[in-house]
Amino acid sequence: MSRTTHRAIPIVVAAAVIDVIGFGIIAPVLPQLITDLGHLDLPAATRVGGWMLATFALAQFVAGPIIGNLGDRFGRRPVLIACMVAFAVDYALQAVAPTLAWLFVGRAIAGLTGAVYGPAGAVIADVSPPEKRAANYGLLGAAFGIGFVIGPALGGLVATLGPRTPFVVAGALAAVNAVAMYFLLPETLAPENRRAFSWREANVVAAFRPLFAAGAIGAHAAPLLIAWFLWQLGSVVYPATWSFWATIRFGWGPKEIGWSLAWVGLLMGVVQGALTGRVVGRLGERRAAVVGLACGAACMIAYAFTTRPWQVYAFFLVGALGAFAWPALNGLVSRMTAANRQGALQGGIGSLNSVAAVIGPLLATQSLALGARHGFDGAAFLLAGALIGTAAAIIALLVRPIPVQDDG
């Protein structure tokens, strides 16, 4: 398995980088595209953007456990490749979308097939011993940061050629990603760890059932999953509102939005790649999660009241430490489930994230639009900070170190 480990991890990390580049590259142009296609002002376009994200998340909520269980049955490799092909089709559709309705159709297609992070997380679980999973999940998180450095900056540049150009580039990147995985990605799920596909198991409730099977583990599962949900609910404020908030508060265009998101991605990549393994190793997964969540909450509350563009860059020096949360929490959760159910677990986590991604954008965009109408456009970040701060308190007070589940 060691040879597979060395090959699989960098390949799925590279795939995640390309996937995030594809997402980040379109972020700077969404406000302009939605306002142009819908003939809307910015507050109204913000609401539409929230419904668009909710459409994606609702489709992913239904499909996430199915994709995860298919990975447990047929292996990770075909699922990852299929996801990338679907994303290429999705971006191509949005590149020629004549109406807002077409953009919604494209988001639904993307949600039904899912992004790479669920299957990629299962690959990490397949090839990593429990004590190294958090550090390896950190590499996947670093991929998100690197992609968000390149994607928004590239999006801001190519947007000068037109608001549809970033979608064309994103579709091409997804297609290249699919081809690269076809030739380079090994299968990481051993035949003895595969299990039959069952529609009864392909839902979010069944995905989390093993977490509550043992008393000692189950006692920690409920607060851990509640904290995870609140964290995801608050974190959605970035993709849901950043471009709109920056346009409303500072009057930024695609170029400025792109550079600000690139800064966010750069710091996240540095934290995930250089600090996560050391911090988790020193503090442990639980305490590292608390530190990350607390820093993320503090940054969001600061954004609610920021008045100068330079403060956006300064405050995220603290906010970037929130990147500890994803690998630390994923490491905690993955310890609860046996090897032959890691795909289902990741699918279940994906669906839990999708519930948050249905509700979160609506909360964030509606609060931003309502606040902007009444002179306070920081309401979305204030709410997000409160949600993530609550998640930090739950982990600190109610979750204790979790034993590793046997492979039974």
Tell me, rounded to whole angstroms, the distance of Cα 222 from its chain centroid: 21
SS3 101: helix
| Contact predicate 126/137, CB 8 Å | no
pLDDT, position 203: 59
pLDDT, position 1: 43
**Which pLDDT band, with edges at 50, 70 and 90, does 407 fall under?**
very low
- What region does 129 belong to: left with phi over 0, alpha with psi -120 to 50, or beta? beta
Mind listing the domains of the chain with CATH numbers? 2-183+211-398 (1.20.1250.20)
* Per-residue model confidence as pLDDT tens digits over 7-36: 788 888 887 787 777 767 777 787 888 888
* Per-residue model confidence as pLDDT tens digits over 287-312: 999 999 999 999 999 999 998 999 99
Contacts of 53 (CB under 8 A, 6+ apart): 107, 236, 239, 240, 357, 361
Q: How far apart are CA 351 and CA 35, in angstroms?
A: 30
pLDDT, position 194: 80
Looking at beta carbons, which pairs linking 139-142 to residues 24 or more positions away fall under 8 Å? 139/9, 139/13, 139/272, 139/273, 140/12, 140/13, 140/16, 140/327, 141/268, 141/272, 141/276, 141/323, 141/326, 141/327, 142/13, 142/268, 142/269, 142/272, 142/273, 142/276
pLDDT of 213 over the 60 cut: no
pLDDT, position 215: 40
| Contact predicate 107/49, CB 8 Å | no
Instruction: Among 104-113, 205-214, 223-232, 327-336, name the one with the lowest average pLDDT.
Output: 205-214
Contacts of 111 (CB under 8 A, 6+ apart): 55, 56, 57, 58, 59, 60, 63, 354
pLDDT, mean over the chain? 80
Reported pTM:
0.65
Tokens, residue 226? 């509640």
pLDDT, position 318: 93
